[in-house]
A and B are shown apart, each in its own frame.
Chain A
Amino acid sequence: MEPNNQDDLASRLLNAGLQHYSATEPQPGLEQRLLAHVRLEQKQRTSVLFYWWLVPSGVVVLAIVSAALFVDRRSETVSSTIVASSQLHPAARPSLVSLGPTDLTHVAPPRSVINPRASRPVHSEKPVRREPRLEQFPSPRPLSKEEELLRAFVTEAPKEELVMAAAMTKGEDLQIKSLEIPSLEGDGLVARSNEKDH
């Protein structure tokens, strides 16, 4: 072939080739596939966004629950410390008993008793076993030796002696009047004794 024809042929080939170079059609259903893909991605992104909103909410709830647990545990530790201190120091027990339940928080336990590392309280709050209440108080018991002697004295001694004893125990002074001995049969007895002398 001649050079001009060669150039002409090359130009025609090139133009035709470039014209068809990108002239292609996508496979059928491309739009539907793309839309389905995009919708799926959109749905996932929306759900992820929703879950991202849930994360701070969960953190807030967790913080509230943690704070509540911390406060509860702290109050529990304080009450157990008070009970433990009363058990370790019996001298302090009467003062605690005399106080009301609201006053317990105001009682400052000894510093040596508080153990800050003790996270869990020792099982110190054992239930107190209550004995059945008796009908008679105080409960009947056998009399002692002194009490037996006292009872015998009371039953056998005359009334005057009892009065004197009672007065002595009360610390009162003895009255002459109470010790006065009544006269025997009046003045006749005195007259008779005078006659015998004579």
Chain B
Amino acid sequence: MAGRAIVSEAIAVARATENELELLVREHARLVYRIAYSVSRNHQDAEDTTQETFLRVLRQRRKLASVNDSRAWLARIAWRVAIQRNKKVAAVPFEDIGEMAVELRSRIASADELVLGAEMGTLLESLIVMLPAKLRDPLILSTIEELSRAEIALMLGTNEAAVRSRIFRARQILRDKLAALLEGKHGT
């Protein structure tokens, strides 16, 4: 009898969790996917990461009731899962970056307008990968429009001021490198 009561209670809790989890999926699947994509830069990997994130939430469903900000909690899980799955980020050789910069510069020079195609995206990815992790992580998260600086600070376990400072420094480094590449001084 006691066993049946425990099982029925567990099933009831599981159903309630299932409903809550469905609600989370419907509301935040896009955010989780974007976080995953910002790290993996691959649609298939991003979807796998999103699935794994929600499965982790299912496993930690007991915590779900005590979570105040489920959105930030979910974003933090998604970030951790994505980082774990993409520990080995393939670094692009600097010579390749130089070639991409030359091609991009020729386009800009001819059109005198920014043509943001695949080349610019690849070049930016390569430059971001070269940043130190301390600056790279807040910069990547800042590109996701749904996340505020406070939420990024919460996800990274730091304060908002530090996040702002790191994002500013990361952008400055990227701008300098990009300007150098456009000038043709990519060897320095």
Contacts and interface: CB of A to CB of B under 8 A. Distances in A.
A34 B124 CA distance: 31
B55 A37 contact: yes
B33 interface: yes
Interface string A125-169: 000000000000000000000000000000000000000000000
A39 B18 contact: yes
Q: How large is the interface on A (under 10, 10 to 19, 20 to 34, 35 or more residues)?
A: 35 or more
Contact of B22 (A20, A38, A53): A38
B182 A6 contact: yes
A17 interface: yes
Interface in B109-148: 114, 116, 120-121, 123-125, 128, 139-140, 142-145
A21 B54 contact: no
A56 B142 CA distance: 52
B3 A57 contact: yes
Q: How large is the interface on B (under 10, 10 to 19, 20 to 34, 35 or more residues)?
A: 35 or more
A21 B121 contact: yes
Interface string B5-33: 01100110010011001100110011001
Q: Tell me whether chain B's interface is mostly helix, strand or loop, or mixed.
A: helix
B25 to A, nearest CB: 5
Contacts of A179: none
B124 A46 contact: no
A118 B94 CA distance: 85
A69 interface: no
Interface of B: 3-4, 6-7, 10-11, 14, 17-18, 21-22, 25-26, 29-30, 33-34, 37-38, 43, 46-47, 50-51, 54-55, 58, 108, 114, 116, 120-121, 123-125, 128, 139-140, 142-145, 171, 174-176, 178-179, 182-183
23 contacts: A1-B182, A7-B179, A9-B108, A11-B175, A12-B114, A13-B116, A13-B120, A16-B116, A17-B121, A17-B123, A18-B124, A21-B125, A21-B128, A22-B37, A26-B43, A26-B47, A27-B43, A30-B29, A34-B50, A38-B54, A41-B58, A49-B7, A53-B3
